[in-house]
Structure 1
Amino acid sequence: MATVHHWTGLEAKALRLALRLSVRAFAQQLGLAVATVSKWESKLAGTEPRPDTQAILDTALSRADAAVHLRFETLLSEMTSTGPSRHRVTASGPRAWEYESWADDLDRVVVALSRQNFTFADSLLDRWLARFKASELDEKGLYLFARSTALLGDLKRDQGAVLGPLSAQHSYAGARAVFTQLDIPRRIAQLDLSLAVVTEMSGKLEIAARDYETLAVDDRLSRRDRARSKLWVGTSLSKDGQHDYATRVMQAATRDFEDLTEPDDWSVAHQKLALARRGAGDLTQALHFIDIARSSGTTDSPMQRVRLDTAHGHILLSDPATRDDGLLVLDQAAKVAAQYGLVHQLRSIEGIRAMSEGPAGPRQR
């Protein structure tokens, strides 16, 4: 439980906010005058409650539940980050209730990322990554720290920040180092897969394909992740112009997803197959596969809508008879991508448009 050695108006305000009470309701709960609480809030650390009132505040804090304690410590940390250390809550590392709250927040981050709510996800992750240093944590804390860092990598990747000191690559490498320290092979392999995705997104297609091929037979990964690796081998090959070979690899991954009863992965696989057939000049098969992808997925996240519409528009743009339809589909995809801050997808759409206007006509990106 959080404790305060010496109350000032600053700590009192943090407690009121943590309890989610108005000034009047907080005063009533403590049995004090509204003017007293208002004075605390106006002078903050410049005023100190009387000794008997300090005891009342101690009691109010001690009776609060774990969620209030978490909000109180978080608020106070933010409010005193540049102030005197004597006003801060004492802490000797995370407690059990903090771990529980941390794990709950990570579940919320996963949901937020699936909806491309990047601002909310980033605020939840920053709450914990800014709160603790890895050197202060035990094994459970390190596990949560590594999970948080890996999710930060997912956030950066989806925002298009692939390389650099504040990028997906940097976060993934940091998370991998902690999971290596904890000796958790499955998590290490998952980070290797995430780093291979970063390699592909940064344009190093041959290296990415080799990494995916290795991971596609890596027993540390689940069968689903191995199937995804196989699919992404095909994606890299297709982007590198090896469309027929890529198609065969992708079809093998598609069969794996069918056996695993993974409808969303099966849908994504058909989307990738459609682009591979477009690259090979087989627009009939490309349209067949993209229609399957558009009708078979069970999730409808903004990211997946943009990816499907981008692939569909790319295929339509490849045929002069459907070029105008393709531009309309790409325009809609660009609007959604801009709305949700999907920078990498916007770049992809812009690249498709630019290539379609070039002297050689539409090409595989």
Structure 2
Amino acid sequence: MGSLAHWTGREARALRRALRLSVRAFAERLGIGVRTVTKWESLGTGTTPRPFMQSILDTALSAADAEAKQRFELLLRQDGEAPVRDYYRSGPREWDYETWTDDLGRAAACLARQDFAFAGSLVDRWLRRFSPLELDGPGLHLHARSLVLLGDLQRDRGDVRGPLSASHTYRRAHQFFVDLRAPRRMAQVELSLAVVEETNGRLELAARRYELLARDARLSPRDRTRALLWVGTALSKKGSNDHAVTVMAEAIRLFEELEEPDDWSVAHQKMALAHRGAGALGAALSHLDIALANRSDSPMQRVRLQTAHGHVLLSDHATSDGGLRLLDEAAGTSRTFGMSHQLASIETIRNAFERVN
């Protein structure tokens, strides 16, 4: 990729225009004479550069940035001759993959701030543009990564059940990574699937999967530590809070060693809930203070912290009014950003409080 099967004067002219160079500047870029470039452009498809000139043009095209390559493709399309795809040796072009990779980065950034609509648009445009049947190995890897991001979007939005759920999408991505023999990516998707199991209330199953993944050499140290932390969250939800505290303390230590401040802050938030479950409200508030002082500014993390803080405050009648206010704020943010799972968790906490009061 990044070269044509056959160059004529027509393609040479399109490349010069895509690079936004004058005839003289283009000739200097290629290291050839101005008269040669002029001849190519005047004869168009009626002339074919010599083989060594074709190699020079291949190199110039490969070295161009993604925007110039897209302009080159558009200029060829605008000529109204044979479809551009026929000029290329195989499949999507190098610059398609470059732009696809860039869009996945943009989608991940949108997910971090819960801009689900634009993130979904960025991912969907590529899943629709190319069928897996026309993709080579790198293209299939990008397709699978796109499915993972779509699964992350569905999970964060609360779509965790049914045929259009995060679980279904993650399984599709996992199969692609199996076929590609990409063990680290496979394990990362397995970790995401365990999170969905926990979200769906299958705590025993989720805990078992987390325990296995926390020792899985396919994962990075950070991902293994996240799995360990989530063992603690599953234990806490099951009511095994003392055990959860021990597990989470180890995760906090490891995140500090790994210099992962966001994960470290999240671990303190989850530790606060485990201490609350164990009845140690002072320890819970202490860990919440650490998490609040080191939080990221994403809406998701803000809601999670407000929910955890409100939950702890509801445990003491003297602070329950403040807890209800925090839950109201978290619910408002959840509605604004379409985080239905977070909203359901808030309602569950509020309903439990109202039943005993």
Q: Is the 8 A contact 1:267 1:296 kept in 2?
A: yes
Give the alignment partner of residue 306 of structure 1, picking from 303, 307, 312: 303
Shift in Å, 1:296: 1.9
**1:356 is the counterpart of 2:353:** yes
**1:331 is the counterpart of 2:331:** no
**1:268 is the counterpart of 2:266:** yes
Distance 1:69 1:247, change over 3 A: farther
Paired AA for residue 99 in structure 1? Y
Q: For 1:107-146, what aligned pairs fall within 5 Å after superposition?
A: 107-146=105-144
**What are the Cα deviations for residues 304-341 of structure 1, in whole angstroms up to 9, with x where unaligned?**
00000000011111110011100111111111111111
State how many pairs are aligned.
Answer: 291
Q: Is the 8 A contact 2:73 2:84 kept in 1?
A: no
Distance 1:321 1:166, change over 3 A: same
Give the alignment partner of residue 97 of structure 1, picking from 81, 95, 98: 95
Partner Cα distance (2:312, 2:81) in 1:
62
Paired AA for residue 175 in structure 1? A
Could you say which residue in structure 2 is the equivalent of 1:224?
Answer: 222
Q: Is the 8 A contact 2:255 2:263 kept in 1?
A: yes
Partner Cα distance (1:173, 1:91) in 2:
32
Shift in Å, 1:91: 3.8
Could you say which residue in structure 1 is the equivalent of 2:104?
Answer: 106
Shift in Å, 1:65: 3.3
Could you say which residue in structure 2 is the equivalent of 1:65?
Answer: 68
**What are the Cα deviations for residues 26-76 of structure 1, in whole angstroms up to 9, with x where unaligned?**
xxxxxxxxxxxxxxxxxxxxxxxxxxxxx9xxxxxxxx8334578999xx9
Could you say which residue in structure 1 is the equivalent of 2:292?
Answer: 294
Distance 1:231 1:72, change over 3 A: farther
Could you say which residue in structure 2 is the equivalent of 1:28?
Answer: none
Give the alignment partner of residue 156 of structure 1, picking from 148, 154, 157: 154
Q: TM-score normalized by structure 2?
A: 0.77
Partner Cα distance (1:151, 1:170) in 2:
13
SS in 1 for 2:274: helix
**What are the Cα deviations for residues 108-135 of structure 1, in whole angstroms up to 9, with x where unaligned?**
0111111111100100111000111111
Partner Cα distance (1:133, 1:141) in 2:
10
Could you say which residue in structure 1 is the equivalent of 2:312?
Answer: 315
Partner Cα distance (1:333, 1:98) in 2:
40
Partner Cα distance (1:237, 1:72) in 2:
60
Give the alignment partner of residue 344 of structure 1, picking from 341, 345, 349: 341
The percent of aligned pairs where both chains have the same amino acid is 56
Partner Cα distance (1:284, 1:71) in 2:
64
Q: TM-score normalized by structure 1?
A: 0.75
Unaligned stretches of 5+ residues in structure 2: 3-17, 19-44, 46-66
Partner Cα distance (2:177, 2:157) in 1:
24
RMSD of equivalent CA atoms: 2.6
Shift in Å, 1:89: 5.7
